[in-house]
Structure 1
């Protein structure tokens, strides 16, 4: 299907391409190549198999799977059935998996118990046997292990290959308005919320990203490293599909394996974190280690890698900052490829869709702010969620009356039709009446030898709100707290200087599809405890 003809729903998105170029590769996984015609055929058969298990329009199917062809096959099978695919983070463990399956009311859970890179079997073994009782069946991808955990022993287990042996489902329930995907937020203080998207929003965003990012260009190959259970990896792969181009599915996050696949498949684009690119550049020698990659989308998570885009550019790798979240989808905006590296390295950018709108609001008085004024970011556009599944209260709190999502992020308009992401609003420190991005303090501290990681939070003290920093040290080094504080006093305004700096072994974290998020509330509690002593 041409990108000039909008796809109303997910099924139309892939079936149109399969009609025009049936033998074009859709996915590459190991030595297997799955064409668009085969993708459609497998999805129709899997849809009939799921229907045999009682799945119909509006029912939920939990996909707890790595990046293998089974994931998109089951996703599109759900779209044809009008069912909702629930993305379950592959980093989640027993309690989290049981909670999501239960609260979503999933009828079927698909998983890969024998998968080599993630020990799904051990996780299933830790689930309470009755926690999955509401499931009608478990779809197992790959070989089933000889030892069956009690949690799934009583469940009806259906091999994925058996679904593919069923006849093709004739009826098509795919609609633009049909809910199709639930992504889980990675909240650090409460149970994940269920972000619900409709087929029209997913398909339309995929086509728009494909147009905007130039994915329809001949020879485009996308390396899908990021997990499909998160919007970052999901939207990259969907946009590549929408362009009728192949995605190489990467099921392992091992740097050596990623480097091998880059060498073998010569992708033109890939997406990932700053940490991933830094490790790849370290692992692969040469002046131009990745010559096939035209440009790569990246997210900056590690303040210690602030100069990575400059270093990458010196070796021919062009990195572009992005912005997205489950509620507005990933790849909502991107920094222009032809911009200076100083601009390109920042999160945010220009919205991908011409119908998207952004604004920045003063978090205290609600007034709209102008260029260069930090405030609360609000986003609108066709890629927005339908709402939080089963949580109307949270939806009303997040979506404004005129259809903007309150992102919870601190940002500023950039004067180029876009914005610059600064930090999470919950991470922002208000010190001496000023909004302070903790990254400023953290980056400054990480200039000191021996400090490899830093997180800064604010705590209320009798003399006002003060910053407290936690640092991780390189092996064999120690913290000279007085010297570190003196270093801050030399380079930062007085109100930004940490009251205390504590060395810890690791930061408290919670899993998310693209890595781990720091539990800053835990750090705040730790700071208060240590300040008592």
Structure 2
């Protein structure tokens, strides 16, 4: 199997009436998933959408997300994943640059004002959008906002009501999915994956975790719009297991699902597991949970592995990134806690390769030496969409992907991740270029310069912004934060905005440079003093 449609066909034959997805009381069998995705594909085709077109999926963790994704995969449409936390500034950029011809969204979900956000987009941002597909679970009539034509809007149910007519096959190397990730210009890069990279990795994860050889019920706690969420969802389906959808993470609801349905597997962030443990009662609150992997995003939760082990959960460190997908490596669950908590681990792909190189010379380093992590995997990206220069720079001549991550190799197939090698921030579990936040603040006329750095807070890494003003005027710092809250996802909003008369500078052979290390010291000191 080399494509998503081939995987769907096989799973229908093998698992048929078995439950593939459980979504808030509704169950979808493998037969259902196969047929609904085919119906939806025919509905998209009737809207004039086809191979190479881009469709933005702006949905939470629900069955409809996977049905729409697989329908697009059947037609060779490229899905553009849009985070439900994104606001107008981010959505405008993603929709415009990717050239989306259609959007799929849930206008009345959890009070998120999707249509209002669309209305805030600058003129021309939606000029390529021909179809807006509205998903809803209520009998409501959605008024067409001024930014859209009534003829553009169609219901999700209507698209899914078409016949299960066969569609032409797609090729393994065709693009099928775009994740957004940090770019060097402040605008996220578009990570394009092929049918093969997603399908093959899903199969390998399913085999490695034995999803097909045991009772497996995985809680879909992390967002499907990111590689962490989508990778595990596709792997569960590749293994014929059952996925339990949690539209947005709520620790009380997560605890209920684990207990009620005897969930066996869960992957998530350290924050998620900390909140889940707080919901637990008894010495072993979740006895059914056998396999649990986590990503360390909150520096204040250094004891989460020990806390989980005391509650009967053996957490293991994971590693992945949008360019190579999630779950490409994990720590051995039989290791002691202090080793299990490290990010990285052993590659799961039998054909995967890893090496550590000197970032300055490119020389391959021996085991134990810190350098840049380079990987060659079946799961790696096809290209950075519409960015051939970035694609060329990301790969070595012999086909290794340069991760930009610092780490060291322990053995031929195992490594330890240490940190990012640049200024990219890990905010709310997402890699974020500080320039994106800086660009947003520079939209305010009175702001002359901006520098954004990362600080460690009790709630994890946060952005901290320094600004200077035009003509030395005093800026309203609360208004600047409010501007960010309106334009950016919540996790990108600076924890504090501080005005300086000028930035600390240093002389170099290439001219004056801003001392970002000095700004980090100032920011961290302000945060630490605010806690004391």
| Partner in structure 2 of residue 502 of structure 1 | none
Deviations 1:107-148 (A, max 9, x none): 111111111253323322322353212111101111455444
Farther-moved stretch of structure 1 (332-341 vs 9-18)? 332-341
Task: Specify which of 26, 35, 42 is matched with residue 20 of structure 2.
Answer: 26
Give the corresponding residue for 1:109.
103
Question: 1:62 matched to which residue of 2?
Answer: 56
TM-superposition CA deviations, 1:341-388 (whole Å, max 9, x none):
222111000011011111111223322112221111111111111110
Q: Does 1:80 align with 2:74?
A: yes
Aligned position for 1:363: 359
Following superposition, the deviation at residue 226 of structure 1 comes to: 0.6
2:90 and 2:487 in contact (8 A); partners too: no
**Partner secondary structure for residue 216 of structure 1:** helix
Alignment match, 1:422: 418
Q: CA 1:364–1:136 in structure 2 vs 1: closer, same or farther (change >3 Å)?
A: same
Distance 2:180 2:190 in 1: 5
Structure 2: gaps (5+ residues): 425-452, 460-480, 497-513, 525-532
- Please give the alpha-carbon distance, in whole angstroms, between the structure 2 residues aligned to 1:343 and 1:114: 44
Match status 1:392 vs 2:385 = no
Answer yes or no: is 1:412 the counterpart of 2:408: yes
SS in 2 for 1:414: strand
Report deviation, 1:55: 0.8
Residue in structure 1 matching 2:181, options 160, 164, 185: 185
User: Cα distance 1:253–1:15, how it changes in 2: closer, same or farther (>3 A)?
Assistant: same
Instruction: Give the Cα separation in 2 of the matches to 1:226 and 1:473.
Output: 21
Residue correspondence of structure 1 range 371-520 to structure 2 within 5 A = 371-415=367-411, 417-426=413-422, 470=455, 472=457
Contact 1:319-1:345 at 8 Å conserved across structures: yes
Task: State the TM-score, normalized to the length of structure 1.
Answer: 0.80
Rate the CA distance shift 1:384–1:154 in 2: closer, same or farther, 3 A: same
Going from structure 1 to structure 2, the CA distance change for 1:251 and 1:274 (only over 3 Å counts) comes to same
- How far apart are 1:427 and its partner, in Å? 5.0
* Kept after mapping to 2: 8 A contact 1:510/1:517: no
How far 1:202 moved relative to its partner? 0.7
- Distance (whole Å) between structure 2 residues aligned to residue 510 and residue 397 of structure 1: 34
| Whole-angstrom distance in 2 between the partners of 1:85 and 1:473 | 36
Q: Distance in 2 between matches of 1:163 and 1:172?
A: 19
Q: Distance in 2 between matches of 1:320 and 1:115?
A: 33
User: Structure 1 residues 423 and 510, CA, compared in 2 at 3 Å: closer, same or farther?
Assistant: farther
When normalised by structure 2's length, the TM-score is 0.80
Query: 1:225 offset after TM fit, Å?
Result: 0.8
| Residue from 14, 32, 36 that aligns with 2:8 | 14
RMSD: 3.0
Counterpart CA distance in 1 for 2:521 and 2:62 is 45
Q: Which residue of 2 aligns with 1:322?
A: 318
Shift in Å at residue 152 of structure 1? Answer: 3.0
Q: Which deviates the most, 51-60 or 519-528? A: 519-528
Could you tell me how far apart the structure 1 residues matched to 2:488 and 2:324 are? 17
2:349 matched residue in structure 1? 353
